[in-house]
A and B are shown apart, each in its own frame.
Chain A
Amino acid sequence: MADNQVLQGTQWKVDSSRNFDEGLSLLAQSSELEDSSVTWVFTPEQWQIAKEKLNLNTIKCGLRLCGDDNVEPLAADIKAFDLIVIEFPHFTDGRGFSIAAQLRERYQYQGELRASGYLLVDQLFYLKRCGFDSFVFRNPVDADKAVSALADFSVSYQAS
């Protein structure tokens, strides 16, 4: 599998998002970012600055959260994002499951929610049920097995 693949729904695609810090500075002109095929993903710190400096109406914006980040200060901005990426430093770090559930339930986030990092395909069904709809693996996974693991169970106990 190529490096820049994302599992979106049940399809593997080329990832069209880029982390904002990839070779760009906060002084970048909005025009450089105005490419509708790219979603620029900001960290919460970058976002606070970007909000002031960039014309966000013309840029597709994403947010990248890690387990330590508190979503509450960003609550009012949630609607501005087309993509929210939650980082999983390790598959045993389950904070991202709850962050996802909070984004969907508490903050009514409707956009693409992505799990990114060291993930086991055996976690995909749970991740999907917590509200994730795309997945980027930092570890090697079998593309077909990942797709089929999304449907490990046909039933669940919890109302969702």
Chain B
Amino acid sequence: MYIYDQRDHTLLKERVVQFQRQTQNFLDGELSEEEFLPLRLQNGLYIQRLAPMLRIAVPYGMLSSTQVRALAHITRHYDKGYCHVTTRQNIQLNWPKLEEVPEILTELSGVSMHAIQTSGNCIRNVTSDAFAGVADDEIEDPRPYCELVRQWSTLHPEFAFLPRKFKIAINGSQQDRVAMKFHDIGLQLVNDIDGDLGFQVYVGGGMGRTPVVGQEIKEFLPQRYLLSYLCAIVRTYNRLGRRDNKYKARIKILVKAMGIEKFRELVDEEWCLIRDSYSPLTDVDINAAKSFFSKPNYHAQLQVRRAEIQDNKQPNGNPDALAELNPAFSKWLQRNVRGHQHGDFSAVTLSLKPTGVAPGDITAAQLETLATLAEQFSFGELRTTHEQNVVLADVLREDLFDLWVTANKAGFATPNIDTLTDIVCCPGGDFCALANAKSLPIADAIQKKFDDMDYVYDLGELSLNISGCMNACAHHHVSDIGVLGVDKKGEEFYQIMLGGNDGRDQAAIGKVLGPASGRDEIPAVIEKILDVFVEHRHEHESFGQVYRRIGLNRFKERVYA
């Protein structure tokens, strides 16, 4: 993964000093609340319902064991002993003290971490595929490009006061696993007919109260122009995006209002004028970025492990043989383990969604276990996923059983990845000041109702996302089943949406099923929806396929019968 150099360290140190001053000026009354607001937001600090919330950046989800241990310490020392993995791969502390935030930032900077631009009207943390670099359908590892964009966008002097927040995602595989078309800019790595690498560029996607599927603005952008083209898009947006109404200030509204053709024309006009003066990404730059993401030494790991087996120091961990003897391990192997570019290795998703725990929440002790597991089994690195789980990307297949045993004890081995109970959920009304309704109790009630794992498996891959308000942090518009908390005269109700897709199959925005239901009714409503699916599905059909075939009405008729 990327290793900080002197420049990164200096910048971080100076940022901490700057924020210390800003916090002090605010506490001394020199900065008003209104003036301090954008400054603290650009350091990831929100004021929430009960306490401040600090959002820590995890660039494209990559973490080292050392960083995870530091997070465990911070979580224990400055918070209540747990933190939360967000749907943009970041980590949130829910109970830090404002006065201690500069201290937390100092601790973070010690392990090359920060909270820069995790909030505010600026370019946010760039997100990517948790299986980057190991996915078997990969065109190119997106992480070097993520890192180049991270550096370019970090403290970018021109883009710190945009009309609204700005999110970029980069996908490097055939399958879109980053919800590319629901970002302000989505970048798909592609080869052109000559085999040259570049990007297909999407713009103007988003969720929130006006969900929009992003449109292609450039079919093929040679990689050397990546940063000048991004600059041209963000500059055009910064000049022309609406600033009179925060609900109409995202780039999606601008693109929609003027049309993609006109927007493309303006961006191209700007880009043509700057692309030659704007320092292009040279092969040297790109190769330097790539050098941080070279493949781990799979061969050496393999040799060591095989020698241990030969010397009988370790049992032969053939996962397939062990799976035959152990049904629970077999389930886990099927659901939580996926293929890898190297045939002797697997990528493992550790579930942060056992029943009874808020989706994405993780304790300090669990963080320490994670750090150890990563060291023991995955070259000391791990990734957070935008579905709020954790991935160990490089696990030797013979180690899978040992990993499972430890992960199971630590509560990470719930075999529910990509199933109904792998619920994506925002912190909701329990924590968030923006929320209209609670989301966590809904997740809990659904997990409790559908506790029969055989039934859950039988449903196949199915996404269920719950947002506590229309800001859509849990991406409820793009899941098979979306639940949205709404407030009706002070009472919490929940609206159901069906048929959304984040781009894994085909990007689509879910449709509202009908009138909202009360909190207690939701599990039963979900059950009816699932019944319709099960009754209509043909063999191997997924929920999304059935929905697209039979349409919304069949579900509606049953739920509101």
Residues of A whose CB lies within 8 Å of any CB of B are: 67, 91-95, 97-99, 101-102, 105-106, 120, 122-123, 125-130, 142, 152-159
Q: Does B298 touch A at the CB level, under 8 Å? A: no
Q: Which chain A residues lie closer than 8 Å to B270 at the CB level?
A: 102, 106
Q: Supply 30 A–B pairs (Cβ within 8 Å), ascending by A.
A: A91-B38, A92-B121, A93-B243, A94-B161, A94-B162, A97-B157, A97-B158, A97-B160, A97-B161, A98-B239, A99-B239, A101-B158, A101-B235, A102-B235, A105-B273, A105-B277, A106-B274, A120-B31, A120-B39, A122-B18, A122-B22, A123-B161, A125-B157, A130-B157, A152-B14, A153-B155, A157-B151, A157-B154, A158-B157, A159-B279
Known A92-B121, A122-B39; contact A98-B155, beta-carbon cutoff 8 A: no
Bound: A133/B71 CA distance, A = 41
User: Most A CB atoms within 10 A — which of B239, B277, B279?
Assistant: B239
- Chain B residues lying within 8 Å of A157, measured Cβ to Cβ, are 7, 11, 151-152, 154-156
B26 to chain A, nearest CB (A): 11
Chain B 215-237 per-residue mask, 1 if CB under 8 angstroms from chain A, else 0: 00000000000000000000100
Q: Is the CB of B157 within 8 A of A129?
A: yes
Set of chain A residues within 8 Å of B238, measured between Cβ atoms:
94-95, 97-98
Kindly supply a per-residue 1/0 record for chain B positions 246-266, scoring 1 wherever the CB is within 8 Å of any chain A CB and 0 otherwise: 000000000000000000000
Question: Looking across the interface, which residue of chain B has its beta carbon closest to that of A159?
Answer: B279
Q: Are A120 and B35 interface neighbours, CB within 8 A?
A: yes
The 10 closest A-B CB pairs, nearest first, are A94-B161, A129-B157, A126-B157, A157-B151, A159-B279, A98-B238, A97-B158, A155-B7, A153-B14, A98-B235
Report chain B residues within 8 Å CB of A98. Answer: 158, 235, 238-239
Let me know if A93 and B274 touch, CB within 8 A: no
Shortest Cβ gap from B43 to chain A (Å): 11
**Of B121, B156, B239, B277, which contacts A158 at CB under 8 A?**
B156
Q: Is B457 an interface residue (CB 8 A)?
A: no
* Contact between A91 and B158, CB atoms less than 8 A apart: no
Set of chain A residues within 8 Å of B243, measured between Cβ atoms: 67, 93, 95
User: How does the 8 Å CB contact mask read for B24-65 relative to A, with 1 for contact and 0 for none?
Assistant: 000000110001001100000000000000000000000000
In the complex, whether B450 has a CB less than 8 A from a CB of chain A is no
Chain A CB within 8 A of B2 CB: no
CB contact list, B263-284 vs A, under 8 A: 270, 273-274, 277-279
Which listed residue (B11, B35, B152, B277) contacts A91, Cβ 8 A? B35
Question: Is B160 within 8 A of A106, CB to CB?
Answer: no
A91–B161 touching, CB < 8 Å: yes
Taking a contact as CB atoms under 8 Å apart, the answer to whether A158 and B22 are in contact is: no
Q: Inside 8 A of A99's CB, which chain B residues have their CB?
A: 239
Give the chain A neighbours of B152 by CB distance below 8 A.
Answer: 157-158
CA distance A142 to B156 in the complex (A): 25
Taking CB atoms, residues of chain A closer than 8 Å to B326 are: none
Using CB atoms and an 8 Å cutoff, list the residues of chain B in contact with chain A.
Answer: 7, 10-11, 14-15, 18, 22, 30-31, 35, 38-39, 121, 151-152, 154-163, 235, 238-239, 243, 270, 273-274, 277-279
Residue of B nearest to A108 (CB): B277
**Cα–Cα, bound, A128→B274 (Å):** 20
Chain B hits for A159, CB < 8 A: 279
**Considering the chains assembled together, what is the distance between the CA atoms of A153 and B16 in angstroms?**
11
Q: Report the nearest A residue to B237, measured CB to CB.
A: A98
Residue of A with least CB distance to B241: A95
The distance in angstroms between the C-alpha atoms of A101 and B238, with both chains bound, is 12
Report the Cα distance A142→B29, complex, angstroms. 13
Q: Which residues of B contact A142 (CB under 8 A)?
A: 30
Report Cα–Cα, A156/B157, bound state, in Å: 9
CA distance A92 to B273 in the complex (A): 27
Closest to B150 in A: A157
**Inter-chain contacts of B273 with A (CB < 8 A):** 105-106
Given A94-B159, A94-B163, A105-B274, 17 further pairs, Cβ under 8 A: A91-B161, A92-B161, A94-B121, A94-B162, A98-B158, A98-B239, A105-B273, A120-B35, A120-B39, A122-B39, A130-B157, A154-B14, A155-B11, A155-B14, A156-B11, A156-B155, A159-B279
For residue A125, which residue of chain B has the nearest CB?
Answer: B157
Whether A154 and B154, one on each chain, are in contact in the complex, defined by CB atoms closer than 8 angstroms, is: no
A94 adjacent to B35 (CB under 8 Å): no
For A120, give the chain B residue with the smallest CB separation.
B35
Q: Which residue among A102, A120, A130, A158 has the maximum number of chain B CB atoms within 10 Å of its CB? A: A158
Q: Once the chains are docked, how many angstroms separate the CA of A94 from the CA of B11?
A: 22
Closest to A70 in B: B239
A154 CA / B160 CA spacing, docked (Å): 18
What residues of chain A lie closer than 8 Å to B239, measured between beta carbons?
95, 98-99, 102
Contact A152 B18 (CB under 8 A): yes
Specify the chain A residue showing the minimal Cβ separation from B280.
Answer: A159
The smallest beta-carbon distance between A91 and chain B, in angstroms, is 7
Contact of A94 among B10, B160, B278 (CB under 8 A): B160
Neighbouring B residues of A97 by C-beta, 8 Å: 157-161, 238
Query: Which chain B residues lie closer than 8 Å to A126 at the CB level?
Result: 155, 157-158, 160
CB-based nearest B residue for A118: B35
- Whether the Cβ atoms of B38 and A154 lie closer than 8 Å is no
A127 cross-chain contacts in B, Cβ below 8 A:
157
Report chain A residues within 8 Å CB of B151: 157
- Complex CA–CA separation, A146 to B279 (angstroms): 30
> B278 — which chain A residues lie within 8 A by C-beta?
105
Chain B neighbourhood of A120, CB < 8 A: 31, 35, 39
How far apart sit A106 and B274, CA to CA, in the bound complex (Å)?
Answer: 7
**A83 → chain B, closest Cβ, in Å?**
21
Most chain A beta carbons < 10 A, residue from B14, B38, B155: B155
Q: Which residue of A lies closest to B236 (CB)?
A: A98
Nearest chain A CB to B389 CB, angstrom units: 30
A88 smallest CB distance to B (angstroms): 9
A154 contact set on B, CB distance < 8 A: 10, 14
In the complex, which residue of chain A has the Cβ closest to the Cβ of B37?
A92
Q: Which residues of A contact B38 (CB under 8 A)?
A: 91-92
Residue of B nearest to A102 (CB): B235
Interface centre among B22, B151, B157 (most CB of A within 10 A): B157
CB-defined contacts of A130 to chain B, threshold 8 Å: 157-158
How far, in whole Å, are A99 and B236 apart by their CA atoms in the complex? Answer: 10
Provide the residues of chain A in CB contact with B160, threshold 8 Å: 94, 97, 123, 126
